[in-house]
Structure formats: structure tokens, C-alpha cells
């Protein structure tokens, strides 16, 4: 962005995972690095975000949390004009060409969000122009403990991060283990500026260093108790700078819950 070189460099360096490079040709492959097939029927609340003027080019992920409300990452919509986002709801890559592109009425980002400082408050909500009948996902009210098993899903690049070389062909999921905050930080995440913040839930793959990559931004971190439904506890925000610690950072929904509620009310009043 003109006049903001630090921000532009930070976006690239931090591997904040936005914008799938649709011009890259690639063979069929799995999405997320070392992910596994994730039937869209298991994740019907998944949303693909695009710019309204390029609705066939995936930008980020998101989730349908109310019939007219999508949750995503702030860096996915930052500096995009109001109404400048379109979404595809509840469809996987093979069905995207024929899936409806739903317009948005507006979006909100927390006032404290500033990517030139850190990844604090990397969360956003969008209001859809047309309420959906697709199932929604409920938000978790408490963070999982260290050692807990969680799940993320996405349409991001399939090779090892931070580069994007192999495009996704369908939705993938990845089992993750929640780490203690002290296991993350400057030795894992980019430090110029220091991106990792206490509002982030840090995880690592339960097998094969499975982790997020470009294009997974804005997607969900999910918890599940027994055979119950998924609850969303985080938003995909940050990739690792370490070649040995392929960890991932997610904005904590319980930390941001009050802001999310206020932002939804504000969008509906506008």
C-alpha cells in the first residue's frame, strides 16, 4: 500500500496467510500443510471471502456465526471499503464456480487493531446482505487448556509454509494441540515488529507438523466435547517464522467476545 511500506512488509513477513494466488498452476493436493480431507458437511458454517470486484478469487476464510454475520480476521478486511467483500457460504472448492456470491453490507474491525505493532485484536465481523439458512457455529466462552486437542480447517496452500506453491483442491482439517504461551513468542513468530500477543491461542499439529499456510487466514479454531457440536474458540491469524516449530496463532474468541457482540449490534443498527 502506498505510503505504508512497513505495513506491507509486515503483512508479507508475518505469513498472515491471506489471499490465495489463483494464478499458480498446481496438481491436485490436500489443503493446510499435512491436513486431511474435511467434508464440507462436517463444517457447513465455513465461508470463503473474496473482494466484491473479484468474486471468483478467494481471499480468506471465515465462519457463519449468525444467519447474517460472518466472523473472520481483521487483516482479511482491513482497508477494504465497506461493502467491498463478497462471500461464498457452505460450499467447497469444487462447487465454488456455481455457488452464490453473497454481498456484504459492511464490516467492523476493533479500534485497537494495528498490524504494525502486533497481532492483537486480529478479528472482524461482517454483515451479509442476505441472511443465510446454512447452519451456524456457536462461539466458545472459555479458552481450551494447554494440552487440549482442537481442530482447524481451511482452503490454504498445501505445501510447507511460509511460501505458497501448491493450491488447495478442497477443504482440509488439521488436529492441533494447544500450547502454553511461554512455548511461543519471539522464537517462533515474527519479531519485527513483535506479532505474537497474549490474545493469541498458540497450537502445534498433533502429527506431521501439520499447520496453517497462506489462504487459511480468518478460518476457525474449533473445540468439541465428546460427540457434541463444534464450538469456535479462535480465528486463524498468524503463521510461524520457525522452520522447526511450525506453530500457529489464533485470535482468542473468549478474549474478544464482548467486542464481537458490540460490533454485531453496531452493524445491525447501521
Question: Could you tell me if residue 77 is inside a domain?
Answer: yes
Give me the domain span that covers residue 232: 139-254
**70 is a domain residue:** yes
CA distance linking residue 114 with residue 100, whole number of Å: 33
Q: Which residue has the cell 471465515?
A: 62
Taking the whole predicted model, whether its pTM rises above 0.95 is answered as: no
Per-residue pLDDT reduced to its tens digit, 86-117? 999 999 999 999 999 999 999 999 999 998 88
Mean pLDDT within 31-55: 94
Any domain includes 29? no
- CA–CA separation, 86 and 54 (whole Å): 9
Are 53 and 117 contained in the same domain? yes
According to the model, what pLDDT value does residue 163 have? 82
Q: Which residue has the cell 515488529?
A: 193
Q: Give tens-digit pLDDT for 9-39.
A: 333 334 445 544 333 333 333 468 999 989 9
pLDDT value of residue 164? 87
Which carries the bigger pLDDT value, residue 270 or residue 26? 270
pLDDT band at 172 (very low <50, low <70, confident <90, very high): very high
pLDDT on residue 51: 97
Pair 260, 130 in one domain:
yes
At residue 265, φ and ψ (nearest 5 deg) are: -60, -40
Amino acid at each position: 500500500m502506498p505510503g505504508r511500506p512497513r505495513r506491507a512488509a509486515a503483512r508479507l513477513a508475518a505469513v498472515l496467510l491471506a489471499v490465495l494466488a489463483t494464478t499458480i498452476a498446481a496438481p491436485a493436493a490436500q489443503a493446510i500443510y499435512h491436513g486431511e480431507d474435511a467434508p464440507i458437511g462436517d463444517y457447513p458454517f465455513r465461508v470463503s471471502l473474496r473482494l466484491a470486484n473479484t468474486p471468483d478469487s478467494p481471499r480468506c476464510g471465515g465462519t457463519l456465526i449468525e444467519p447474517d454475520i460472518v466472523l473472520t480476521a481483521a487483516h482479511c478486511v482491513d482497508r477494504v471499503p465497506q461493502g467491498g467483500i463478497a462471500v461464498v457460504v457452505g460450499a467447497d472448492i469444487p462447487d465454488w464456480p456455481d455457488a452464490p456470491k453473497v454481498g456484504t453490507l459492511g464490516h467492523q474491525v476493533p479500534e485497537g487493531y494495528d498490524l504494525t505493532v502486533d497481532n492483537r485484536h486480529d478479528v472482524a465481523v461482517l454483515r451479509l446482505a442476505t441472511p443465510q439458512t446454512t447452519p451456524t457455529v456457536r462461539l466458545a466462552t472459555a479458552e481450551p487448556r494447554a494440552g487440549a486437542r482442537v481442530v482447524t480447517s481451511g482452503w490454504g496452500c498445501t505445501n510447507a509454509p511460509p511460501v505458497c506453491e501448491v493450491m488447495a483442491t478442497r477443504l482440509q482439517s488439521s488436529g492441533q494441540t494447544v500450547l502454553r504461551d511461554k512455548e511461543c513468542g519471539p522464537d517462533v513468530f515474527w519479531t519485527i515488529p513483535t506479532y505474537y500477543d497474549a490474545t493469541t491461542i498458540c497450537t502445534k499439529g498433533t502429527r506431521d507438523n501439520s499447520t496453517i499456510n497462506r489462504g487459511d487466514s480468518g478460518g476457525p479454531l474449533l473445540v468439541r466435547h465428546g460427540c457434541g457440536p463444534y464450538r469456535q474458540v479462535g480465528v486463524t491469524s498468524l503463521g510461524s517464522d520457525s522452520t522447526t516449530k511450525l506453530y500457529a496463532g489464533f485470535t482468542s474468541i473468549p478474549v474478544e467476545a464482548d467486542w464481537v457482540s458490540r460490533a454485531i449490534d453496531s452493524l445491525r443498527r447501521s
